Amino acid sequence: MEKTAFALVDCNNFFVSCERVFAPQLQRKPVVVLSNNDGCIVSRSAEVKKAGIPMAAPYFKVKSQLKKLKATALSSNYTLYSDMSKRVMDTLRSVCSSVEVYSVDEAFLLIDSVPPDKYTEYAKMLRDKVYQWTGIPVSVGVGSTKTLAKLANEIAKKDLDLNGVLDLTSLSEEKSDAFMAKVPLQDVWGIGWGFARRFNEEGIESALDFKNLDPQRVREFTNVMGYRTSLELRGIECFSLNDSPNIRKGIASTRSFGRPVFKYTELEESVVTHVTNACEKLRRQGSFASQISVFIKTGKHTRKAYYYKNATSKRLPAPSSETEDFVKAALECLKEIYIPGARYKKSGVYLSGINSLDSFQMNLWANPITETRKKIKTITVDEINRTWGSGTIKLASSGISRSWQMKRNHLSSRYTTNWDELPKVK
């Protein structure tokens, strides 16, 4: 049996890196990307991290500090980031048959056709190819288990001398332990702050301390996941690669409004927009859903009005993936929970009862001709929106101007998915 290893490829400062691909003037300059409604920092360049500005800091609190740094603040451009993520993952799949997409900016790879003495060379190839094909810088960690690969990646990102690549399998145990001693316990994949705090009180502060801890004590302090993590740090594989995409059992679409919303018509537009987005995700994974939930809420910190939130659900007569079926049910839900005069801050929908078509009992009385026409129409609309940009064709009930949408005052262009926003050469 051939020896195998795991690689963890992680995009560096992913949202910032996506922006820099199309705005090279931002290279080596301080940059932050902000959350919904330009609220908090969700991505920081290395220059901003060095200045001590923390992740998730409210933008209004650090605005003056960012100004002194001459930093550029950008609104979250989810359309761009999603497409760039897909390009990164497609690049990895072009050189490796076993890829597990772990998050929007991370992926595990199973290295099973490369000699162990070539792992470092292979990791450097991954780093260089992703950068050449997408412009996104990545760090690559290699280990005999997924936890060790994640740990190697954590070290490779922070140690500039490693140039973004670390293969723990190529090191002696002494050298590997020296690296592990530098990693705080809370930074070990699967540990988290809660368990780390308890272990810190016992003098166990690093990944190496945890690796050397008696397994019986680990079981006393943690759950099964923590115990398996301790085994993985010793090189005993407990977590295998899941290279088949998981079907989500629930799909949500929510957003805060850019301003208080009073009118029912605007709430209706927002709910229809959320239903459209959720159903597109549902169809992308080839699934059907049988239930939809709708919620609305006011702001918690509004002095002039009371706080109100409510939600309700509807079950469809038959499982569906058609937007119009869910819109009808969602608007029935909205009418049940809407109260006039409230200052609404947020709305959202949640699709549940998700499964593949062969797991459902379909509607015996449905007209097959009507259903076929609906399906053809939906496929056509999805194809047009994929080709010409999201929202090219949409339901009129989702609104035209959508003045209630979240604030994104520093939004960059959707360079890769919208013909009207392609980069322009002067």
- Give pLDDT tens digits for 346-386: 999 999 999 876 655 566 666 666 667 777 888 888 888 87
pLDDT at 363: 63
Look at residue 182 and tell me whether its pLDDT is greater than 70. yes
pLDDT at 370: 66
- Give pLDDT tens digits for 10-35: 999 999 999 999 999 999 999 999 99
Hey, CA dihedral for 50, 54, 57, 61, is it positive or negative? negative
Average pLDDT over residues 228-242: 91
Is residue 135 packed enough to be buried (19+ CB in 10 Å), middle (13-18) or exposed (0-12)?
A: middle
Look at residue 233 and tell me whether its pLDDT is greater than 60. yes
CA distances to 109, 243, 245 from 98, rounded to whole Å, are: 6, 6, 11
Look at residue 3 and tell me whether its pLDDT is greater than 60. yes
Look at residue 404 and tell me whether its pLDDT is greater than 80. yes
Average pLDDT over residues 230-244: 87
Residue 264 pLDDT level (bands cut at 50, 70, 90): very high
Is residue 100 within 8 A of residue 88, CB to CB? The reply is no
Residue 1 pLDDT level (bands cut at 50, 70, 90): very low
Give CA–CA dist 170/143, Å, rounded: 9
Average pLDDT over residues 287-308: 84
- Give percent above pLDDT 70 in the chain: 94
Instruction: Report the DSSP pairing between strands 31-34 and 5-11.
Output: unpaired
The mean predicted confidence, pLDDT, of the chain is 89
Give CA–CA dist 255/62, Å, rounded: 24
- Give percent above pLDDT 90 in the chain: 63
Give CA–CA dist 404/270, Å, rounded: 8
Backbone angles phi, psi at 53, to 5 degrees: -80, 120
Secondary structure (DSSP) of 91-143: HHHTT-S-EEEEETTEEEEEE-SS-GGGHHHHHHHHHHHHHHHH---EEEEEE
Instruction: Report the DSSP pairing between strands 138-143 and 165-167.
Output: parallel
- Give pLDDT tens digits for 207-218: 999 999 887 788
Look at residue 388 and tell me whether its pLDDT is greater than 90. no
Indicate the CATH number for domain 1-166. 3.30.70.270
- Give pLDDT tens digits for 61-80: 999 999 999 999 999 999 89
How do the domains of the chain map onto residue ranges? 1-166, 171-246, 251-398
The DSSP code for 134 is H
Look at residue 100 and tell me whether its pLDDT is greater than 90. yes
Residue 47 pLDDT level (bands cut at 50, 70, 90): very high
Strands, E assignment, 302-414: 309-320, 344-352
Highest mean pLDDT among 221-230, 275-284, 294-303: 275-284
Q: Which fold has domain 171-246?
A: DNA polymerase; domain 1 (1.10.150)
pLDDT at 357: 62
pLDDT at 368: 66
pLDDT at 352: 93
CATH number for domain 251-398, candidates 3.40.50.720, 3.40.190.170, 3.40.50.10240, 3.30.1490.100: 3.30.1490.100
Average pLDDT over residues 316-321: 89
Look at residue 36 and tell me whether its pLDDT is greater than 90. no
